Structure 1
Amino acid sequence: MTKVIHPIAGALALLTIISFWLSTAMSELFGSEKLVVTVKTMIPWGFLILIPALMAAGGSGFQLGKAWRNPLVTVKRKRMPIIAGNGIVILMPSALYLSSKAQAGSFDAGFYMVQAIELIAGAVNITLLGLNMRDGLKLTRKRSAPRKADD
């Protein structure tokens, strides 16, 4: 079951973060102030999907990788504290701050400074999660590849 949960939860988490990032960038670049307020208001509600998906991906990944001594597993394991720390320390507080500021109609220098930080931190997490997905797919291919018989 863990082998099924891990890729689904990981993909859901990555797609959720990508949707947050793209909706923010597109609304800021091409949308109205009303659209920005809507996007900034909805992103914290998306945590109801993101947080369980990240927890399921992390927990199942830990279980899957527990017995492995593959260098790719080690690399994936090293990325996870960065991803989690970035999310807990920068991304979640930023999203809550930006939601509050947007709902108050306060698009000041503080809003845009935090918005820039959030976009950079989000891009970092998207990159790291994408690398973890790539490495996970490599691991899956290695495990399922047919073994050649020695003649």
Structure 2
Amino acid sequence: MLTIAVFWLATALSELFAPQAIVAAVKTAIPWGFLLLIPALMAAGGSGFTLSRGRRAGLAGAKARRMPLIAANGILILIPAALFLAARAKTGQFDGVFYAVQALELAAGAANLTLLALNMRDGLRMRGRLRS
């Protein structure tokens, strides 16, 4: 969750306050972060699946239903958008298409952050570390 939040904040802050050279640096650095992010998400999903022991009711079920949405959002929107934006930023193509895809990426990233936060909340509740 922290990695996605860093990607999201770096993107938003650079777009709002930094020159295009910084935006380009941020957009070309983000795909390298996938080397950390993708295994971390796989480990989190896999450990959650193992810990749920096949339960599909209650909080475990809610978490299990969110995971395919998180994965699909990442695979179908976030990764392709990040790669597209990195390629455009590297060549200095900051046009309407760039900003439209950037808006889509920020919205999809916010959605994934929300879903991951809900999963973290439910996980803490399941472990008794957070009250309902």
TM-score (norm 2): 0.95
User: Which residue of 1 is the match for residue 92 of structure 2?
Assistant: 105
Is 1:93–2:93 an aligned residue pair? no
User: Which residue of 2 is the match for residue 147 of structure 1?
Assistant: none
CA distance in 2, matches of 1:125, 1:15: 12
User: Which residue of 2 is the match for residue 66 of structure 1?
Assistant: 53
3-state SS of paired residue (2:94):
coil
Is 1:125–2:86 an aligned residue pair? no
Cα distance, 1:123 vs. partner? 0.2
The answer (yes or no) to whether the contact 2:56–2:64 under 8 Å persists in 1 is: no
- Deviation readout 1:69-88 (Å, 9 max, x if unpaired): 54000000000010000000
User: Which residue of 2 is the match for residue 81 of structure 1?
Assistant: 68
Q: Which runs of 5+ in 1 are unaligned?
A: 1-13, 143-151
User: Which residue of 2 is the match for residue 46 of structure 1?
Assistant: 33
User: Which residue of 2 is the match for residue 31 of structure 1?
Assistant: 18
- Deviation readout 1:98-132 (Å, 9 max, x if unpaired): 00000000001110000000000000000000000
Q: Tell me: CA distance 1:101–1:86, structure 2 relative to 1, closer, same or farther (3 Å).
A: same
3-state SS of paired residue (1:106):
coil
CA distance in 2, matches of 1:69, 1:127: 21
CA distance in 2, matches of 1:29, 1:134: 30
CA distance in 1, matches of 2:77, 2:55: 31
> Percent identity among equivalent residues?
60
- Stretches of 4+ moved more than 6 A in 1? none
What RMSD over aligned residues (CA atoms) do the two structures have, in Å? Answer: 1.1
**Largest Rg, 1 or 2:** 1
Q: How does 1:126-145 map to 2 (within 5 A)?
A: 126-141=113-128
Q: Which runs of 5+ in 2 are unaligned?
A: none
- Deviation readout 1:46-81 (Å, 9 max, x if unpaired): 000000100110111110012445400000000001
